[in-house]
Amino acid sequence: MATTMEISRPRPIAPLAVLRIAFGLIMLISTIRFIAKGWVREFYIVPKFYFPFYGFEWVHPLPATGMYLVFALMVLTTILITIGLFYRASIVTFFICFVYVELLDKSYYLNHYYFVTLITFLLMLVPAHRYFSLDVLRHPQSKITHVPAWMIRVFQAQLCLVYFCAGLSKLNYDWLLAAMPLKLWLPANDHMPLIGPLLKQTWVAYAFSWFGALFDLTIGFFLLYKPSRRIAYIFVILFHVLTGLLFKIGMFPYIMIAATVIFFADDIPQKEETQIPLRLTTRKKNWLYPILALYICLQLTLPFRYLLYPGKLFWTEEGYRFSWRVMLMEKAGTAFFYVKDARTGRRGEVINTQFLTPLQERMMQTQPDMILQFAHYLHDTYDAKGIKDPIVTVESYVTLNGSGSRLYIDSTVDLARQQENFLPKKWILPYQP
């Protein structure tokens, strides 16, 4: 079959080596930055309660020393990945550490952490260390010059999907016709040199919104298409640097700038005169291909699972994560939790900050699944304090894209009785525009 031929056709390996080095370096910087900002302590040592992902409630943080060791291990493995030493062990170890940390608390979920997880996963499947690496220096016979095309294409496809989905999610009323939330966010940068005064203009918010949507929808194709590739990459750099300056989005711009170098697969001349292609054994193919097929299916369906839920996605956030929905909404909330003793009828209000860090509280207040988790935690906490099986309710107010806050969760529902699952949450009040 033609397609089978195309995906297994030998391609130069150099882009994989470049990606390995660029990605390793960025992740090294990212991890050091994370430690230097004191976030290991603030995010994973200080909190009394964590918000694990559904199905991963068994994942718990280690004691302080353990958490720091995990991050030290990530620093070490990113160095090893970059220089290509003990690559297989390093990339697998890094993957385990990174995923472990991500699973601990969804308060800190960011789409680019999810992206890092995926790229690391794919890097585990490919021999990115068998060219231009210390592993090759140690074992010259391990060097290869060509890999099956899919090993490059899968990264390109992943990136195209990220951008395209991000673009698709911008095709909504708020983003295109109301220029929200950029109309709220951009004026805050009006002290910036040169462009500062412009950012207060409404038309600039519209221009940014439309250009952003257009960029996300098309950039993948411009990167794929050889004649436009260089210009497109310059746009990638400019676009991400600009958003990096305007918004507090951490390492994201640099991760994307590093990852998109994989599109230069055809442009890298290799000097070798004889080709040494990677030969995949049938046994390897037998487990690699199903994994890849499953991976691609998941990637193609996850961003669209929100279609299965009723209501406004930005409001309910059912099917919101893992879908490349970024910077789409300005959402903030305040949640007053009440614990009621069913026997005496006495009701008390909870001070959230006694249990949560400010960041955890902020994230919880706008996300129903986290509100539910916290309600269950309060139930258990006050049950242990002697209020048998208390009723937990919440009076929460949420504002979405500057609409003004309104009641978010049905304040009469006993959240202690509600279970987390993939079904629609009936206790989220419908969005009133």
Partner 1 sequence: MQRIVILFLTGAAVTILSINCSKSSSKSGSNSTTAGNSDSILVNLGENIILPSYQQLATAVNSLDSSIGDFNSSPNATKLGNVQALFKTAYVAWQSASEYDYFGPASTNQPVLSALNVWPTNATLIDSNIRINSDNVNTFANTAAKGFPALDYLLFGAGGNTLTNYTSDAEAANRKSYLAAVSADIKTESNAVLTAWSASGSNYINTFITGSGNSVSSSLGLLINSMDQDFEILKNDRLGIPLGLIPVGVTSPVLPQEVEAYYSGISAQLALAQLKAVQGIFLGNSVKGNGLGLITYLVNAKAQYNGGLLSDSITAAFTLDVTDLQAVPDPLSQTIQSNPASAQAAFNESQKLVALLKTDMPSALGVLITYGDNDGD
Site for partner 1 in 335-374 (CB under 8 A): 336, 339, 341, 344, 346-351, 354, 358-359, 362, 365
- Pick the piece of the chain touching partner 1 (CB under 8 A) from 86-94, 219-227, 265-273, 294-302: 265-273
Per-residue mark of binding to partner 1, 204-233 (x: CB under 8 A): --------x---x----------------x
Residue of 327, 364, 370, 413 interacting with partner 1 (CB under 8 A): 327
What's the burial of 193, exposed, middle or buried (CB within 10 Å: 0-12/13-18/19+)?
exposed
Q: Is residue 267 at the binding interface for partner 1, with CB under 8 A as the rule?
A: yes
Identify residues 25-64 at the interface with partner 1 (CB under 8 A): 37, 39, 42-43
CA–CA gap between residue 335 and residue 378 (Å, rounded): 13
CA–CA gap between residue 400 and residue 204 (Å, rounded): 21
Q: Is residue 405 at the binding interface for partner 1, with CB under 8 A as the rule?
A: yes
Q: Is residue 415 at the binding interface for partner 1, with CB under 8 A as the rule?
A: no
Q: Is residue 274 at the binding interface for partner 1, with CB under 8 A as the rule?
A: no
Q: Is residue 404 at the binding interface for partner 1, with CB under 8 A as the rule?
A: yes
Residue of 254, 314, 315, 427 interacting with partner 1 (CB under 8 A): 254
Q: Where are the alpha helices (DSSP H) in 84-227?
A: 87-104, 111-125, 134-138, 150-170, 173-177, 182-185, 202-224
CA–CA gap between residue 409 and residue 316 (Å, rounded): 10
Identify residues 168-197 at the interface with partner 1 (CB under 8 A): 184-185, 187-193, 196
CA–CA gap between residue 83 and residue 80 (Å, rounded): 5
Q: How far is the CB of 378 from partner 1 (least distance, A)?
A: 9
- Pick the piece of the chain touching partner 1 (CB under 8 A) from 83-91, 368-376, 386-394, 423-431: 386-394
Residue with tokens 């539910």: 372
Instruction: For residue 315, give the nearest of 361, 366, 373, 370 by alpha carbon.
Output: 366
Nearer of residues 148 and 390 to partner 1, judged by Cβ: 390
Residue with tokens 């500062």: 196
Nearer of residues 122 and 328 to partner 1, judged by Cβ: 328
CA–CA gap between residue 51 and residue 363 (Å, rounded): 10
Nearer of residues 280 and 321 to partner 1, judged by Cβ: 321
Q: What one-character-per-residue DSSP string does 257-277 give?
A: HHHGGGGGGGG-----SS--B
Judge contact between 402 and 358, C-beta under 8 A: no
Judge contact between 319 and 305, C-beta under 8 A: yes
Identify residues 102-131 at the interface with partner 1 (CB under 8 A): 108, 110-112
Cα dihedral: 364, 366, 370, 376 (round 10): 90
Nearer of residues 278 and 280 to partner 1, judged by Cβ: 278
- Pick the piece of the chain touching partner 1 (CB under 8 A) from 12-20, 72-80, 89-97, 147-155: 12-20
Judge contact between 266 and 276, C-beta under 8 A: no
Q: Is residue 380 at the binding interface for partner 1, with CB under 8 A as the rule?
A: no
Q: How far is the CB of 92 from partner 1 (least distance, A)?
A: 25
Q: How far is the CB of 327 from partner 1 (least distance, A)?
A: 4
Instruction: For residue 405, give the nearest of 334, 337, 345 by alpha carbon.
Output: 334
Residue of 171, 231, 241, 342 interacting with partner 1 (CB under 8 A): 241
Q: How far is the CB of 342 from partner 1 (least distance, A)?
A: 12
- Pick the piece of the chain touching partner 1 (CB under 8 A) from 89-97, 136-144, 241-249, 417-425: 241-249
